[in-house]
Amino acid sequence: MSSELKKVAIPRKGVDYRGKIVLAPMVRSGELPSRLLALHYGADLVWGPETVDRSMIGTTRRYNPRTKTIEWTRKPSQNHQGPPGAETKDSIIYRLHAEKEAGKLIFQIGTSNPDLAVQAARLVAADVAGIDVNAGCPKPFSTHDGMGAALLKTPDKLCAILEALVANIVPEFEIGISVKIRILETAEQTEALVRRLVATGITSLTVHCRTTPMRPRERAIRGQLRMIANVCHEAGVACVMNGDVENRDQAQQLMQEFGVDGAMIATQAEKNSSCFQAQTGGGLLPWTDVVKQYIRFALEVENKLGNTKYLLTQMIPGKSPAYRDVSACRSYTKICEMLGYDDLMDTARDVDISLDIDPDNSGKKKNNKKANTAALAAGRQTAKSRAVDSSNKKNLSQRGVQIPPEAPTSEAAAIPA
């Protein structure tokens, strides 16, 4: 077993990845309330979504006493400052819950430059349990600048990034550096890459058991997994597997079968995070239970409404009437009303007001008086005048028009990194 083999030293504030069932890094589905939900149901560690180095550099760290979160923010660009006269808020680039995620959050960085990687990691390293380099995401938003899975084609650059992080972040912050990759076309190519990566000083390597061109609907390929685990163990590095892992029980079976140290869950965790609980004799919790717990966390941290609605469309079955009802809601208050959460209504209304959302579902910002005045002066029709003009019109449901969902629910719109 791997526990009997050589182990690299775990930094004092870092984590040992062995024996861990963890939440995968996923775009949109890896935001704060989703991570809190996974931890609530038993995830041992959670990855945040890939955050690009350049987006972190230049941010300001602040504590939000209302939500008890730490936020890294920056001023929005001129193209995203809203109408003239409207109040502009800082953009939140990354945030975490210092108490609930303490010692369990891994920050995944998107980077293709060693210096930028170190600059960005240094901003967040004191608040997380590890820094993970994304060398596995195949989507253009990640690969276009040589990041993500593009790094698999530039192993010199990937190793340089890991070595820079190990040399600069580990001594100062005493946390570990890890990397997440995909398998290559042949076992020989994969083995050569893994041998180089584990020699950089990392403490863990996660392998997504698909090649770069493969999509989530294609079954994971596990034929190279034992070889990868053996190479990692020779260097004392933990090996975590990813790809078609559906629950804790299956994860433990796969860890035993292939000799890996840990397992990462993505798609199933997006749908129902109770997959992190032991399934023996019980199975997954009903989606209704999981959804209510998710909304509690979303309200607690005042999550962006659009992100919350997207996750709800992944968690609520598409054939359920609740799916259509929630998709049409434009406020937390209306979501709780539609789902019958009377005990959360007061909190939902407070959160809507805090987020400048009309609790009564109009979808308009509450504090838009200045913006409307400016628009009127410019000769444009204001939100108020549009409401008056349309007051005699029937709404969509009265006209028999079905309101489509806000976000797509097809294949893995929340992309595993």
Helix axes of 287-300 and 305-315: crossing angle, nearest 10 degrees: 170
* 137 annotated active-site: yes
Whole-angstrom Cα Rg for the chain: 23
| Three-class SS state of 317 | coil
List all residues 6 or more positions away from 125 whose beta carbon is below 8 Å from its beta carbon: 107, 131, 169, 172, 173, 175
Which two tokens mark 212?
């770069």
Which two tokens mark 196?
């180089």
The Cβ of residue 361 has, within 10 Å, a number of other Cβ atoms equal to 17
How far apart, in whole angstroms, are the C-alpha atoms of residue 119 and residue 114?
9
Which two tokens mark 169?
């972040």
How far apart, in whole angstroms, are the C-alpha atoms of residue 207 and residue 2?
16
- Nearest Cα residue to 241 out of 264, 218, 257: 264
List all residues 6 or more positions away from 408 whose beta carbon is below 8 Å from its beta carbon: none
Exposed / middle / buried, residue 238 (Cβ in 10 Å: 0-12, 13-18, 19+): buried
DSSP 8-class letter at 51: E
Identified catalytic residue from 137, 209, 232, 239: 137
Report the catalytic residues. Answer: 137
